[in-house]
Amino acid sequence: MPLIRDSLIELIREGIHQAQAANVLPDFEPPDFVVEHPKQATHGDYATNVALQSARLARMAPRAIAQAIVEHMPLADYIGRVEIAGAGFINITLAPEWVAQQVETIQAAGATWGNLDIGTGQKAQVEFVSANPTGPLHIGRTWGAVLGDTIANLLEAVGYKVTREYYFNNAGRQMQILGKSVRARYMELIGKPATFPEDGYQGEYIWEIARTIVQEQGDAWANEGWRPFKERAEAWLFEDIRNTLARLGIHFDVWFNEHDLYTSGAIERTVQALRERGYAYDKDGAVWFRATAFGAEKDRVLIKSTGEPTYRLPDIAYHVNKLERGFDRIVNIFGADHKDEYPDVIAGVRALGYDADRIQVVIHQFINLVRGGRQVRMSTRRANYVTLDDLLDAVTITHPESGVTIPGKDPVRFMLLTRSPDSPMNFDLDLVAQQTPENPVYYVQYAHARICSILRKAEEEGWHPTGPDGWETSDTTILTHPAEQALIKKMLELPEVVENAVQKLSPHQLSFYAMDLASTFHTFYRDCRVLSSDPGEKDRTRARLKLVGASRIVLARVLGLMGMTAPERM
RNA sequence: GCCCCCGUAGCUCAAAGGAUAGAGCGCCUGACUUCGAAUCAGUAGGUUGCAGGUUCGAGUCCUGCCGGGGGCACCA
């Protein structure tokens, strides 16, 4: 079934056509118009500004246009009332009987509720995190991690076959410094003279890696250069990064290694192809990319006069590789520091004749770490950062009474998903430390736990979902109470929220929807007693249990899309 | 100097060019003998950084300015 919103747009377009055919409206091309959920409940469930948008084209008063559209648009079974209001808005209210019946639809869809057929049969790839293995993941990386994983979840929900990919640079100078840093600590541990590199990594983890090597090798590496230390450190850090990401609920399908682009010859082929097409040339001993051919201010160096490629070359080769793997849609999650870089990559891909429109980039701003009211600048090199592991430890809470533990990924993911990626974020460590149960994260989860509690209680009292008289088979058309209707309508919005979030690559809409849904459920809970021992209320109890069951499905689904747990008790 | 993002309630943040700018936290008031009070109902809190412009209509689009962040490499 198409989205109600899209279906309404069709009906309205048809209304315009019919009115034009009847000469009630003059001929004009219907403008782009929106069908949205009005802020005010008295304005119905959906509203459109089509008449206002058409006023100039039709040379008529908006209200008169609205009148003509309303009189000529076909009705559907889900439409209850159509009204003209204000300056010329058309307000549409859903039919209560139809709404009530939709509980059945949601129950039948189960865990697939909210899924759409946008990318069915297509392959998508999301590249995110992609931090170089020079240290543990810090808080600054967390936003990209959560954004990428949630966008991947959303793409899966709309039908794409999704590959989650982590690209890491293990060929550059930073890795060499890492190796030298570890080597220096190692030498110190086995009592050999060593000088720590001036620009070395100062974190405690360098000592840990060195101690690991001492355990494994004793002093056998005393005469080794930095290379084996770099190899061992890289492996150690990857283990660490992988574990940290797993705690966030993130699992990658592909760990793409920059080094492979060299060994496979992809780098060489990329330069060659650019040369052949006239987009690469030699100057001052370096190889340049003709970025100006694609609107850039100046050309960029691909290979330095020292013979080393700049980051641009492997990045272009990598994206060519992605496209050759046949992805229909490629999403990159970058921090704001890469904002001016990716146009070069896109240009490079385009220069080689590939369809760069398949590539989308989500840029997120930086996390501004605040402690004691002051900004903390993060730097891996100077070991001035808060690790994601430490953060996850700090926000994992166990409720003293129930003994239920809510993993740290829940508040972390939720918090990051209440921000638009465009908006810079202040992350106050003092506030994180004094986590309270009043956090909206727990508000949403509490609604789910409360639902589970009702269903448990129902079970105890003999109300079963299946079997003879099971509530899953109940007739829900009696659910006409305003709180029941409001709850069902809110659940019906999920597919639209998913569609919006995918289209705008803005997963933060999920968290606001989740809070809204939880709130609507809590209001229903207050107004509508579910379990009744009155024999005359049997049908109502069964129908409401079906509604509660559907609410659980939708809440769990949203939490799942956000990568959070849906606790049955807390 | 040039380019990009941001500026909305005390704080953290939402808001397809639409109707009276919304949540959460915090403040204040009330509600547990009843399916979970991690809840609910209510109060207070705003010149959407400033000044112009476009539009029937601007937090949203355009111009200028102020403030914060990011970039402007033969670093990644």
> How many Å apart are CA A395 and CA A406, to the nearest integer?
9
Cβ contact A211:A189 at 8 Å: yes
Which pLDDT value is given to residue A438? Answer: 67
CA distance A481 to A100: 10
pLDDT for res A287 = 96
Find the residue closest to B76 using CA and C1' atoms. Answer: A311
Structure tokens at A541: 């109890």
User: First-to-last CA distance in chain A?
Assistant: 36
Tracing tokens 């939708």 back to the chain, one arrives at: A554
A78 CB-to-strand B distance under 7 Å: no
Q: Distance (Å, rounded) from C-alpha A517 to C-alpha A493?
A: 10
Quickly count: other Cβ atoms within 10 Å of residue A507's Cβ.
28
A85: left (phi over 0), alpha (psi -120 to 50) or beta: beta
pLDDT at position A302, please? 95
Backbone angles phi, psi at A164, to 5 degrees: -95, 125
Residue A495 DSSP SS3: helix
Residue nearest to nucleotide B5 (CA to C1'): A422
Q: What is the ipTM of this complex?
A: 0.95
- Determine the distance between A418 (CA) and B43 (C1') in angstroms: 27
pLDDT tens per residue, chain A (570 residues)? 689 999 999 999 999 999 999 999 999 988 889 899 998 888 999 999 999 999 988 989 999 999 999 999 999 999 999 999 988 999 999 999 999 999 999 999 999 999 999 999 999 999 999 998 999 998 888 999 999 999 999 999 999 999 999 999 887 788 999 999 999 999 999 999 988 998 899 899 999 999 999 999 999 999 999 999 999 999 999 999 999 999 999 999 999 999 999 999 999 999 999 999 999 999 999 999 999 998 888 899 999 999 989 989 999 999 999 999 999 999 999 998 888 888 899 999 999 999 999 999 999 998 887 776 667 777 777 777 788 998 899 888 887 777 889 999 999 999 999 999 998 888 877 777 666 666 889 999 999 999 999 999 999 999 999 999 899 999 999 999 999 999 999 999 999 999 999 999 999 999 999 999 999 999 999 999 999 989 899 999 999 999 999 999 999 999 999 999 999 998
The confidence score (pLDDT) of residue A357 equals 92
Nucleic acid strand B: bases within 7 A of protein CB: 3-8, 11-26, 34-41, 56-57, 68-76
pLDDT computed for residue A232 by the predictor: 96
Which residues numbered 394-423 in chain A sit less than 7 A from strand B, measured from CB?
397, 399, 402, 404, 406, 418-420, 422-423
Q: What are A436-455's pLDDT values in tens digits?
A: 666 889 999 999 999 999 99
Residue A465 CA, nucleotide B33 C1', distance (Å): 30
Q: Which nucleotide is nearest to A454 (CA to C1')?
A: B35
Q: How far apart are CA A411 and CA A523, in angstroms?
A: 24
Q: A317-351 in b/e burial notation, b at 16+ Cβ within 10 A?
A: bbbbbbbeeebebbbbbbbeebeeebebbbbbbbb
pLDDT given at position A384 = 72
What CA–CA distances, in Å, run from A107 to A163, A265, A556? 29, 53, 13
User: Which of A32, A391, A395, A330 lies closest to A164 in space, CA to CA?
Assistant: A330
The spacing between the Cα labelled CA in A278 and the C1' in B76, in angstroms, equals 26
* A509: CB within 7 A of chain B nucleic strand: yes
A38 touches strand B (CB under 7 A): yes
Kindly give, in sequence order, each residue whose CB lies less than 8 Å from that of residue A152, ignoring residues fewer than 6 positions away: A124, A126, A162, A164
Q: Is the CB of A87 under 7 A from strand B?
A: yes
Scanning A126-265, the segments in alpha helix (DSSP H) are 139-157, 173-189, 204-217, 226-247, 258-263
Do you know the residue count of chain A?
570
Domains within chain A, CATH numbers bracketed: 4-94 (3.30.1360.70), 99-117+438-561 (1.10.730.10), 128-263+365-400+408-435 (3.40.50.620)
Strand B proximal to A480 Cβ, under 7 A: no
Q: How far apart are CA A568 and CA A449, in angstroms?
A: 5
